Structure 1
Amino acid sequence: MTNLRKRAGFHGLVLAAVCGLAPVTALVVAPETAQAQPPAAERPTPAQLLNDFMHYVLVDRYDLAEAMGRELLDRNVPGPELVAMIETGDVARFTSSCQRAMRDQRLEEVSSGLLKAYESGKLARARDPIEILKNIEMLGGTVRGRLMARERLLAAGEYAMPQLLTALLDRSNTALGGEVRRVIIDLGRQAVIPMATAMMKLPETQQETVAETLGLIPWKTSLPFLVDLSQGTKNAKVRDACLRSIERVGGGAGEAGALYRELATAYYDERLEVTSFTGEDHQLLWSYEPAIGLVMTAIRTSVYHEAMAMRLAERAMQLESASGMTSDATLALWVAANFSREIDAPAGYENPAYAADRRGADYFAAAAGPRVCQLVLTRALTDRDTPLARRALAMVERTAGSRALASAEGRTALVDALNYPNRRVQFEAALALGVAQPRDNFAGADRVVPTLAGAVRGASSQVAMVIGADAEAYQSTRKMLQGLGYTVLPLGRNIGELSAAIAEAPAIDLIVGNGLDAEKAPAMIGEARGTPKLSATPVLLLAPSDQAADMKRRYLGDARVAVRPVAAGEAMLAQAAKDLVQAASGGPITEAEAASYSSRALSAMRDLAISGNTVLNVGDASAALTTALGETSGPTRMKVGEILSRIGQERCQRALMDAAAAASGAERVDLLNLTRESAKAHGNLLEARHITRLVDMASKGFDDEATAAASLLGSLEVAGSQVVPLILQSR
């Protein structure tokens, strides 16, 4: 026990620091705190406030209940103290009062705050390092004491592992070590990663003990570590212990690198079996220092899985490199996790798993090259991860040449992205393909140029659809959406009713489920996810007020779904729609973004036209470009005109001449010159009316205009009878 006590002080400091970041140990302070407080003698105690809150909830005086609950929150009572106060009274009455209060919109914030503070307080008490140490000592005491200690240590979970590991390895008290081992085994998956992390750096005699213990925990998350150690150790006893444990947990033959990649994928996918504290703001990262022991570091849950995926993928790459067989799949997984780390990190957050002076994700992705980035893109498209898809596309566009169409896992990721239900992804995929200048034909090539043309016109338009049965509610929601800039499709009772309108729309940017209950909402979302054009579209559910809280919890982990009470005000719903679309797809395409897409698309099409690329035929966009010529102005119009001048179609040359005739001044001169370039490249494709108008310009226009018109006449090689009058009129 000496070693255990010696390390208790250190672990107490570490755990206290972690708890300061991770579980909430005190009541959350509500926003409205700037109120004058009565003298302390007149103020009710926290216990009185709690009793009054429960009483007023039960008698339906929600206004007074809100006041009592908010005052209790404002007191900022420490979590363990609140727990003791509640457990001194009637716990069932407290929880039932909070659950009842949450059904009322006015009390939802206060009651959920009280429940959260109570649960956080229980966790803080269980995870207190001093309490953990006491409970480990109690494992060597009476039967009743052992049962109580065991229950409390299981409640502490992963937070108890530093002291439990120390006790397990302490050979001075083998009886206690046996009890500790049973607790560790019963902790299950929460014990695996701390134990496995320590095992790789422990002395060989202790490695054997930990390896044997891991074999008694039926979770395969230990397999990569056990296989790694078994293949790397020179100690026969350690190797045999690892092999026995591998067999016990169901592991077959396999390379450690592949097993690390498989586990890294589980973390990247954020599977429940690799998430210790579901619903909490923080998880724990583990390291082992021989002079200190197991060290835990709190990390935000939003970036925890990425950190673990990167750590495991890095070990896999080390092993693969040593064997001379570096895997693109492992590298792509690491790049994807690194992108996701940046995407998911809270603003200003200092990630303890990623040094501030380490280069950003784009640097490593660019170095990995287009083949790896297409693997990342494939993963993003499969997961319907729009932000990741855009990051991968940006790197493909930056690094790829004609090789960009190399197949990724049997699929052509860039072409698949053209059909992805998000316009930014579609535009950026088309841009990447256009910049790549492919030399060989491929399935889907015919969609690239029309998509580029779509980026020139109407990129910033937004389309929303509303699913519900109430026509009056639809009109109210439609008005709100139109105020946000959306074009709103007609009301549909289900998605199938709107299939024709969905097909005609360039994209659906938002779905609103209006008044759908807990039965109908999941069915609608399932139908949307099964419809290719809607599979990644964010969904705002306006739920019945008495079901909103439960539906919020149901979709808590889905960034593409938001839930609000149907009775919420228009301003709240509008903000919810904005926040949802921003989080799920990057928000509406702004005018500045639309202008950028337009400019980049025109540059790509110009380069394709100049190169005469036969795979991506710019002529496929001739109809859209002739329309755009009439809708644009300034430099953008000239870029459109230049592309049209390089397309050998009648409609293109005639559109240029019509635009020149309708223009004036310098713009007319520029358009006449572009028409001349078309005539030089493709011959005379104009109609007689154009020639008549052109002769008139040449004879009556000012000098620059007349010269440009005359030059065009020459390039058109019109009959001499139409040119002679120009000479005779000038005498």
Structure 2
Amino acid sequence: MSFNNRILAGFTLVFFLAVSMPICAWSQKNTPPTTQGSTSLGNLSADDLLLSKPETPEQLMRAIVQLTDLGQATSAKPYLDELIKADIDDETLLKLRDKYGPASFLTLANNKALQPESVTLLKKMEAAFRAYATDPARIDGLINDLSGNATKRTIAIIELKSAGAIVAPTILKRLSKSEDPTTNDELAFALSQLGAPVVQPLIAALRAPSENIRKIAAEVLGEIGDPAATLYLWNPAFSQSQPQSIQLAARQALAKILKKDPKNLFELNRHEAQMVLKNAALRFYKTYDDESGKQNIWTWDAAQQTVVEKELPAQEINLIEGLRLSKEALEMSPDKQDVQTLYLAMALALESYHVGWNHPLPEGPGTTFNLALLSGPSAVSRVLALAMKQGHTPSALAALKALGQIGSRALLYEQLDKHSSIIAALNYPDRRVQFAAATAIMQLDPAKPFPGATRVIAILTRALEGEGAQSAIVVDSSIPRGQSMAGVFHELGYETQPYQTGKAGFKAAIERMDIEFIALEYNISRWGLSQTIANLRADSRTANIPIIVYGPLRLKNKIEYSTRRYPLVSYVIESQNSTDIGTQVKPFLKNLKTPELTGELRSEYRAAALYWLSHIASSQRTNIYDLTPTEKPLLQLIPERALASNALITLGGIPTRSAQADLVKVITNKTMEADIKEIAALQLAFHIQKFGLLVDSTQVAEIRQAYQDAKDAKLNTALASVMGTLMPDNKVVGERLQKFQPATSLP
């Protein structure tokens, strides 16, 4: 038999069974045989055991195998070293593989006495066989043999099968170019005989532009019968965009795989198809993992007219597959809201993935972001709700940005899933989403109070300060234990306040609105655990705050089962040791976080926060937002020239004595730049006008002195406006009028 045909089914089966087993499963201790005959062998040298000294690669391999079989692996090691150093070519390696079988190479590789050289030899053999099996010229020759006699055809199929999925692109490319029905039948039959390895390439072929390729792919998948193909046959089977011939082929394939009677294809229907596709797309959407490794995916390449295999990050593959499936579900019923929501969410998620965490989505014609804008606020609000429910932060960020541009104030009061999605986003466990929600609400410019106004100020204030303090709530009916757990969380870096009842903890959560998580002891009272969790999840202000339930190990499975329907809930084993608690809590909280903000983004957030705070102060929205918490961080930002203006404008909108005193400090500061002091003076005049004179006589005297010392014309004028707001009496006015000297001399 020729060299090209020497790989028959038996050898192929042995090889793949062998290489599929872990090396560790075959490891040997290489202990010498215990029989008397074997014992005597230990006294013989390698030369004594062999008939002649090995020199050629074949002789060296025979010596290695023989000595190893005799329990003399140590004696075989020099010959193995010599074989590796010989750097034999692929053809020789394949001859050795044919003679000794792939199992021999694997046995040597698992012998610790021969490692690492034996592992190197196995890898070289595998690489040689892979190159031989996947050689394009060889594959082309085998495909040509499909048109030969029965023997040639059988051998060709066996050897094509040994090459695996790599042969599918070549066969499909020939099908793309062929118009001969006989040739197409031969190629399709060959594909059907190759089995599971070609299922994924054929699934990719279901999306080929050629109707003929799609039809053949569906038919062959039905013949192979692999359940993995089922999901991808629903759309070809029921989409109105597919020709009748393809619909019929796909339905028949589904019937074969699902073991349905082909005569009763009515058992398969469009509604079932859409539900399957939607649920599958949702699963891909849920499996968000930014740190996942890479995987392979088959796609149709229009330029090459066949399928190609690509290696991509697993997360990107999930998003690609989810987007495709959600689009296929949308084709079934384009007017269904839940499918519209899922498709738009998947599209935003994929676009967000491609641009990365710290970059905005592309805008303009044909972009996904513009598609979101065109879809309207109701659709985007549903996307936001879905993204938060599934913990998909990137698409939540994209939805919030779109809502800020197209939303209305009504979004702040809508009852979507029992709470407004944009209000719920203020407490989503990610700082990016919280800030995006706060700025989106500012863009909506509410004219009356709404749930979460306090939270908006807290988020913007935190942006001024950086990360800010991390806070938490503990609810425990036992005061000592609650205080102890609060201490444990404090050691982990959280300012924690204990409460005794579920109701008290809930009330604190909705009032404070600055907490990272809520910890609940499993046996809390007034409300119990279930009622407390249900109420926390039903309220927009707490719907997305992570909940940690702590208790004994014996209740872990029971409580996890009872809370499974609620998002962002985790159970930890109670302990007084902060290390034990931290080991359990940190992974849960870490999974809810996105990558740290870059320094550039932090600066952008701070500038944006200042802009919106100054907008509140200057647009008379202080009846909705209380700016008092921003006072201290604002004062620290005034020395930064680029931030000073908005910081001073915001300070001017805070109706407190201390805020007015802060403005006085700025205008009397001798090291401050004149233009900054000018803004401070104008804001001080505004503050006195609106809230009255709140500073004492000493500070008033400092204002007068600052006015007298001001040499800069604009600063002097701004300070004059402050002096005017001090309500001078008639005597002071008269003195000032008398001292005034007109710029133009009187004639």
- Structure 2 residue 629 is the aligned partner of structure 1 residue 621: yes
Could you list the per-position Cα deviations for residues 588-609 of structure 1 after superposition, in whole angstroms to 9, with x for gaps in the alignment? 531x433322221111122223
Within 5 Å, give how 1:573-588 maps onto structure 2. Answer: 585=595, 588=597
- Structure 2 residue 332 is the aligned partner of structure 1 residue 301: no
- Structure 2 residue 271 is the aligned partner of structure 1 residue 254: yes
Residue in 2 that maps onto 1:284: 298
Q: What is the identity, as a one-letter code, of the residue corresponding to 2:617?
A: A
User: How far is 1:676 from its partner?
Assistant: 0.2
Could you list the per-position Cα deviations for residues 175-217 of structure 1 after superposition, in whole angstroms to 9, with x for gaps in the alignment? 9977853543x45853661464469923999688457537664
**TM-score normalised according to structure 2 size:** 0.56
- Structure 2 residue 255 is the aligned partner of structure 1 residue 244: yes
Residue in 2 that maps onto 1:527: 585
User: How far is 1:499 from its partner?
Assistant: 4.3
User: How far is 1:675 from its partner?
Assistant: 0.4
Flag the 1:217–1:258 CA change in 2: closer, same or farther, 3 A. Answer: closer
User: Structure 1 stretches of 5 or more lacking a match?
Assistant: 1-44, 53-57, 60-64, 102-109, 273-277, 346-356, 464-493, 509-520, 538-583
Flag the 1:725–1:526 CA change in 2: closer, same or farther, 3 A. Answer: same
- Structure 2 residue 614 is the aligned partner of structure 1 residue 603: no
Could you list the per-position Cα deviations for residues 45-91 of structure 1 after superposition, in whole angstroms to 9, with x for gaps in the alignment? 9x99xx99xxxxx99xxxxx9xx99x99xx9x999998888888733
Contact 1:127/1:160, CA 8 A, preserved across alignment = no
Residue in 2 that maps onto 1:329: 342
Flag the 1:338–1:312 CA change in 2: closer, same or farther, 3 A. Answer: farther
The percentage of aligned residue pairs carrying the same residue is 17
Could you list the per-position Cα deviations for residues 608-667 of structure 1 after superposition, in whole angstroms to 9, with x for gaps in the alignment? 2333336850424343455435x5332422211111212333332222123222345454
Flag the 1:462–1:708 CA change in 2: closer, same or farther, 3 A. Answer: closer
Residue in 2 that maps onto 1:502: 493
Contact 2:463/2:609, CA 8 A, preserved across alignment = yes
Within 5 Å, give how 1:308-327 maps onto structure 2. Answer: 308-321=321-334, 327=340
Within 5 Å, give how 1:325-364 maps onto structure 2. Answer: 327-343=340-356, 359-364=366-371
Q: What is the identity, as a one-letter code, of the residue corresponding to 1:448?
A: V
Within 5 Å, give how 1:615-654 maps onto structure 2. Answer: 616-628=624-636, 632-654=639-661
CA distance in structure 2 between the aligned counterparts of 1:407 and 1:79, rounded to whole angstroms: 69
CA distance in structure 2 between the aligned counterparts of 1:499 and 1:114, rounded to whole angstroms: 57
Q: What is the identity, as a one-letter code, of the residue corresponding to 1:530?
A: F
Q: What is the identity, as a one-letter code, of the residue corresponding to 2:306?
A: V
CA distance in structure 2 between the aligned counterparts of 1:113 and 1:686, rounded to whole angstroms: 84
Contact 2:277/2:329, CA 8 A, preserved across alignment = yes
CA distance in structure 2 between the aligned counterparts of 1:321 and 1:98, rounded to whole angstroms: 65
SS in 2 for 1:712: helix
Residue in 2 that maps onto 1:91: 106
Contact 1:418/1:427, CA 8 A, preserved across alignment = yes
Within 5 Å, give how 1:98-247 maps onto structure 2. Answer: 125-128=132-135, 134=142, 137=146, 141=151, 149=159, 152=162, 162=172, 181=192, 183-184=194-195, 186-187=196-197, 190=200, 193-194=203-204, 196-197=206-207, 201-202=211-212, 209-210=219-220, 212-213=222-223, 217=227, 219-225=229-235, 227-228=237-238, 241=252, 244-245=255-256
Flag the 1:722–1:589 CA change in 2: closer, same or farther, 3 A. Answer: farther
Contact 1:415/1:429, CA 8 A, preserved across alignment = yes
CA distance in structure 1 between the aligned counterparts of 2:371 and 2:115, rounded to whole angstroms: 51
Contact 1:657/1:690, CA 8 A, preserved across alignment = yes
Residue in 2 that maps onto 1:693: 702
Contact 1:306/1:341, CA 8 A, preserved across alignment = no
CA distance in structure 2 between the aligned counterparts of 1:269 and 1:147, rounded to whole angstroms: 40
Flag the 1:171–1:462 CA change in 2: closer, same or farther, 3 A. Answer: farther
- Answer with 1 or 2: which has the greater Rg: 2
CA distance in structure 1 between the aligned counterparts of 2:432 and 2:115, rounded to whole angstroms: 44
Flag the 1:114–1:334 CA change in 2: closer, same or farther, 3 A. Answer: farther
Contact 2:219/2:250, CA 8 A, preserved across alignment = no
Contact 2:617/2:653, CA 8 A, preserved across alignment = yes
Q: What is the identity, as a one-letter code, of the residue corresponding to 2:639?
A: T
CA distance in structure 1 between the aligned counterparts of 2:206 and 2:132, rounded to whole angstroms: 27
Q: 2:444 aligned to 418, 436, 450, which one?
A: 436
Contact 2:240/2:332, CA 8 A, preserved across alignment = no
| Greater mean alpha carbon deviation, residues 169-178 or residues 375-384 | 169-178
Flag the 1:402–1:200 CA change in 2: closer, same or farther, 3 A. Answer: farther
CA distance in structure 2 between the aligned counterparts of 1:325 and 1:158, rounded to whole angstroms: 37
CA distance in structure 1 between the aligned counterparts of 2:239 and 2:327, rounded to whole angstroms: 16
Could you list the per-position Cα deviations for residues 372-417 of structure 1 after superposition, in whole angstroms to 9, with x for gaps in the alignment? 4455545554565555554444444444443554566666444444
CA distance in structure 2 between the aligned counterparts of 1:457 and 1:700, rounded to whole angstroms: 34
Contact 2:618/2:649, CA 8 A, preserved across alignment = no
CA distance in structure 2 between the aligned counterparts of 1:361 and 1:84, rounded to whole angstroms: 56
Contact 1:288/1:295, CA 8 A, preserved across alignment = yes
Q: What is the identity, as a one-letter code, of the residue corresponding to 2:587?
A: R
Within 5 Å, give how 1:543-558 maps onto structure 2. Answer: none
Contact 2:464/2:634, CA 8 A, preserved across alignment = no
Q: What is the identity, as a one-letter code, of the residue corresponding to 2:192?
A: R
Flag the 1:724–1:669 CA change in 2: closer, same or farther, 3 A. Answer: farther
Over the aligned positions, Cα root-mean-square deviation in angstroms equals 5.9
**TM-score normalised according to structure 1 size:** 0.57
Could you list the per-position Cα deviations for residues 669-728 of structure 1 after superposition, in whole angstroms to 9, with x for gaps in the alignment? 432221001112222222333223334445665585665444324324366677677678
SS in 2 for 1:617: coil
User: How far is 1:162 from its partner?
Assistant: 3.1
User: Structure 2 stretches of 5 or more lacking a match?
Assistant: 1-56, 65-72, 75-79, 261-266, 359-363, 471-484, 497-513, 517-578, 742-747
